[in-house]
Structure 1
Amino acid sequence: MQSDNRDRAALWDMVAAIRQIGEFTANLSGEEFLGNLLVQRAVEREFEILGEAAKRISENFRQANADIDWRNIVNLRNLIAHRYDRVQPDTLWNIITAVLPSLLIQLESRLPTLPLDEDLLE
């Protein structure tokens, strides 16, 4: 049960990080992103959170959801945190535009539904 709760919390954190990246970059072109160091650093932080949350997912959940590329999510976090001098903003932009939309859908489909409070319906 504790593992289930930890997985749920980590999934919510992952979804929140992707949504935050979306907010940071919503009105930017690739060129604008590449020219905006402040946004790049904010996005890097959210990628770190995304990867750290992915590390918290239990091995059982990872195996049951093997279609999600857990390893590369964590690897990107490690690159940003430990090899920051090798981070390429254009690579981040490609991930933002080509990978995150489908990853968000995958993660959202695995989020637990919230219990319905009957009192709210009255």
Structure 2
Amino acid sequence: MTALNDDIRLRHMLDAAKQALTFMEGKSNVSLDADAMLLLAVVKAIEIVGEAAAKITKERQATIPQIPWPQIIRMRNRLTHTPSSPSSASRSKSGTYWRM
């Protein structure tokens, strides 16, 4: 059952990541600052990716080392638990948005 759950969560990660990319198609980072609905939609998709990643077993994560598991999970935690706006939570220290 755990392997099946991991497969389902990997599918959730892929679907949400594709959705975030679709939301951003033809748009720039400036669009995120100007469009609160777009920003919230992209942030929610990233949260879904991170939530699913956090629930995938460590054993399964180890079989896919090209995925930056800790960074994905930290981003989800940062977006979910940072008391500031999603815009500032999704920016790196340099002020640029994280790449998808």
Q: TM-score, normalised by structure 2?
A: 0.83
Query: Cα distance 1:89–1:75, how it changes in 2: closer, same or farther (>3 A)?
Result: closer
Whether 1:68 and 2:71 are equivalent positions in the alignment is no
Over 3 Å off, 4+ runs: none
SS of the residue corresponding to residue 85 of structure 1 reads coil
Structure 1 residue runs without a partner (length 5+): 101-122
CA distance in 1, matches of 2:58, 2:9: 13
Q: Equivalent residue for 1:94?
A: 97
SS of the residue corresponding to residue 94 of structure 1 reads coil
Kindly provide the amino acid, as one letter, of the partner of residue 94 in structure 1. Answer: Y
Kindly provide the amino acid, as one letter, of the partner of residue 91 in structure 1. Answer: R
Task: Tell me the matched-pair count.
Answer: 96
Asked whether the equivalents of residues 51 and 77 of structure 1 are also in contact (C-alpha less than 8 Å), the reply is yes
Larger CA Rg, structure 1 vs 2: 1
Q: Which protein is richer in helix relative to its size?
A: 1
Query: Cα distance 1:79–1:46, how it changes in 2: closer, same or farther (>3 A)?
Result: same
Asked whether the equivalents of residues 79 and 86 of structure 1 are also in contact (C-alpha less than 8 Å), the reply is no
Structure 2 residue runs without a partner (length 5+): none
Give the alignment of 1:19-34 within 5 angstroms.
19-34=18-33
Q: Deviations over 1:8-61 (max 9, x none)?
A: 101100001111101111121222222111111111111111111001111111
Give the alignment of 1:40-79 within 5 angstroms.
40-79=39-78
CA distance in 2, matches of 1:45, 1:32: 16
